[in-house]
């Protein structure tokens, strides 16, 4: 029973859903439908910073510094609106990619423009016995937050499997199917998986009863 509670809690972090198994898809899931209505989880710059922190993209001190300097400013409001637009453009692109494997030139051009303006950086990292490289970015201005989003979206289309990216069969959430068979149709067991399995079981029982 305790294990189930831990698993259920993992779908939400600091008030945000993380069921996508990919940063780009988790961004799409910041506007879910609850009680039949769309709910914007990123209504302002403060919420945006909390989401980036919950997603592991910035540290608390970075979020605090950005909030102290920019919260309530026109640039922060503009950035929040721009990320909303980016999310919805990405949503349309992901849906088309899921359905037909298509990636329109306009989306590629948009991503390349954002990647050029807000690139991820590379640095060396050394531990006791190994030297590796890691990607990083330095968020000092609101617009810098585009860097990991654009990078994640580019990686999704370049290295992801379109057949494993799908929208939940029961709700509007997107996810990358990491299961062995790649046949999952629900966003998470806690949110929709149990309901779909119960419905499928009930349907099988009805068929058996009629037979």
Query: At residue 206, does pLDDT exceed 50?
Result: no
Query: At residue 202, does pLDDT exceed 80?
Result: no
Query: At residue 199, does pLDDT exceed 50?
Result: no
Query: Which 3 state secondary structure label does DSSP give 124?
Result: strand
Report which of 114, 107, 111 is spatially closest to residue 145, judged by C-alpha positions: 114
What token pair was written down for 113? Answer: 């423009």
CATH of 2-210, one of 1.10.3300.10, 3.40.190.10, 1.10.1840.10, 3.20.10.10: 1.10.3300.10
Question: Taking CA 57 as the corner, what is the angle to CA 152 and CA 101, rounded to the nearest 5 degrees?
Answer: 15
What integer is the mean pLDDT of 133-151? 97
Comparison of pLDDT for 205 and 182, the residue scoring more: 182
Q: Give the C-alpha separation, 48 to 183, whole Å.
A: 32
Summarised one tens digit per residue, pLDDT across range 100-136 is 888 999 999 999 999 999 999 999 999 888 999 999 9
What integer is the mean pLDDT of 39-68? 98
What integer is the mean pLDDT of 173-197? 82
The answer to whether 31 touches 87, Cβ cutoff 8 Å, is: yes
User: Domain spans of the chain?
Assistant: 2-210
- List of E strands, the chain: 12-13, 16-17, 33-34, 37-38, 121-126, 131-136, 165-167, 174-176
Q: Give the C-alpha separation, 24 to 153, whole Å.
A: 5
29: left (phi over 0), alpha (psi -120 to 50) or beta: alpha
Surface-to-core class of residue 186, CB atoms within 10 Å of its CB (0-12 exposed, 13-18 middle, 19+ buried): buried
């Amino acid at each position: 029973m305790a294990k189930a509670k831990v698993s259920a809690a993992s779908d939400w972090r600091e008030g945000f859903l993380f069921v996508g198994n990919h940063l780009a898809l988790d961004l799409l899931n910041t506007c879910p439908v609850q009680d039949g209505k769309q709910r914007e989880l990123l209504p302002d710059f403060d919420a945006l910073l909390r989401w980036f922190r919950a997603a592991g993209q910035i540290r608390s001190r970075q979020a605090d510094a950005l909030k102290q300097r920019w919260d309530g400013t026109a640039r922060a409001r503009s950035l929040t609106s721009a990320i909303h637009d980016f999310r919805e453009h990405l949503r349309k692109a992901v849906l088309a990619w899921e359905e037909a494997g298509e990636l329109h030139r306009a989306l590629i051009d948009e991503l390349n423009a954002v990647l050029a303006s807000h690139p991820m950086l590379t640095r060396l990292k050394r531990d006791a016995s190994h030297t590796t490289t890691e990607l990083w970015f330095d968020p000092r201005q609101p617009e810098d937050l585009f860097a990991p989003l654009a990078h994640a979206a580019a990686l999704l289309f370049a290295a992801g499997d379109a057949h494993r990216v799908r929208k939940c069969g029961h709700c509007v959430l997107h996810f990358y199917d990491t299961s062995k068979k790649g046949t999952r149709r629900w966003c998470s067991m806690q949110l929709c998986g149990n309901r779909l399995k119960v419905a499928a079981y009930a349907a099988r029982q009805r068929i058996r009863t009629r037979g």
